[in-house]
Amino acid sequence: MAFTTTMLSWSVIEFGGLMKGELQHAKEAIRWATDYLLKATVHPDTIYVQVGEANQDHACWERPEDMDTPRSVFKIDRNTPGSDVAAETAAALAAASVVFRRSDPTYSKLLVRRAIRVFQFADRYRGAYSNGLRKYVCPFYCSYSGYQDELLWGAAWLHKATRNPTFLSYIQVNGQTLGADDSDNTFGWDNKHVGARILLSKAFLLQRVQSLHDYKGHADNFICSLIPGTPFSQAQYTPGGLLFKMSDSNMQYVTSTSFLLVTYAKYLTSAHKVVNCGGTIITPKRLRVIAKKQVDYLLGDNPLKMSYMVGYGPRYPQRIHHRGSSLPSIAKHPAKIQCSAGFNIMHSQSPNPNILVGAVVGGPDQHDRFPDQRSDFEQSEPSTYTNAPLVGALTYLAHSFGQL
């Protein structure tokens, strides 16, 4: 949820000026999340990070209105640290503070003050939240990449939000040990290294912060990893051209990468710079072309002619892995549907009665196949962290094609 908020905020920071009537909707969505994150961080050195027992909730297929599984609350604190979730929460609060800086300065100041406090807690009491809370948060949202990436990412956002030299010196002192130049080129809710590199390169490219010079190189390395045919190319693509990182919710990497491509292209254009991949010059225009191809695939320009955004285009997923979408509404079926009674519908072939318009699902496999089965959560489950970065990418593309 925190990563969703950070990415929705970054979308507004970079492209909000192009959003027209949708800007207000984006800001309302961000505030809905930050209001919650503020409540979850009221007590110093404590964050309430999860409500509900994941295993018991997953054992039911029921509507949110019918839920009666335990609402247990789990927290991190000095004794059970969670630098990963804490630093991501700090990033979300800091990024959102930039969004509201002009339109609601009082709220913005509250967000940034809380972000600083939460980041200090993340940094002082180090540890992964899925160590202390393992049986509650794993295997669903285990922190596989550790917490170093979140500390770098959180510091990068606080540097942007506060312009306080403390955070710049933190990044200078700790950047290397926190993995600034690791070659992990996957950006998503668990690993933020690439996002931090792109964000910090902006401070070098646009604000001329010379001490962040290396982050342009780190960001370029990520870009070069994506470009087929260059010496540093690592990325895999499906035969139809979709970036393919992993079989579980692959589309989250497509949307996050597309966002980073159009965002980095913006920075490069402003600074009159390009990317050099072992002698091959990659222009900002090329980055935008790659991003557009990924988003076009997502929206239906693919071998199956299937839009992976629900409710968009003539053909889209009918049986998404989403309880509220798949079960009849309270209006149609007022009587309670018990915990396990919904599994009959879950395993059925009938299309979902409630269309979750705009939701982006996990997407096709590495051979461009998509079974459209509700039980196939790897391919058919939507998530907020898949949609959030797409907001920025779509804003840029819609604007550049004269649709906004």
For residue 403, is pLDDT > 90? no
Rounded to 5°, the CA angle 73-78-79 comes to 75
Find the mean pLDDT for residues 318-345: 97
Under 8 Å CB-to-CB from 20, ≥6 apart: which residues? Answer: 404
pLDDT at 110: 98
47, 82 Cβ separation under 8 angstroms: yes
Q: Can you tell me the distance from the alpha carbon of 59 to that of 61, in angstroms, rounded to the nearest whole number?
A: 7
Which of 135-139, 285-289, 379-383 comes out lowest in average pLDDT?
Answer: 135-139
pLDDT at 402: 79
pTM: 0.97
Find the mean pLDDT for residues 334-348: 96
pLDDT at 404: 63
For residue 38, is pLDDT > 70? yes
- For the chain, what is the mean pLDDT? 97
| First vs last C-alpha separation in the chain | 28
Active site members = 321, 372, 381
Q: How much of the chain, in percent, has pLDDT values that exceed 70?
A: 100
Q: What is the pLDDT of residues 46-75, one digit of tens each?
A: 999 999 999 999 999 999 999 999 999 999
Please name every residue paired with 216 in a beta bridge, in sequence order, or none if there are none: none
Find the mean pLDDT for residues 142-169: 97
Q: Can you tell me the distance from the alpha carbon of 360 to that of 90, in angstroms, rounded to the nearest whole number?
A: 26
Q: Can you tell me the distance from the alpha carbon of 5 to that of 237, in angstroms, rounded to the nearest whole number?
A: 28
Find the mean pLDDT for residues 195-207: 97
For residue 264, is pLDDT > 80? yes
pLDDT at 401: 85
Find the mean pLDDT for residues 195-219: 96
Kind of pairing between the strands at 47-51 and 73-76: antiparallel
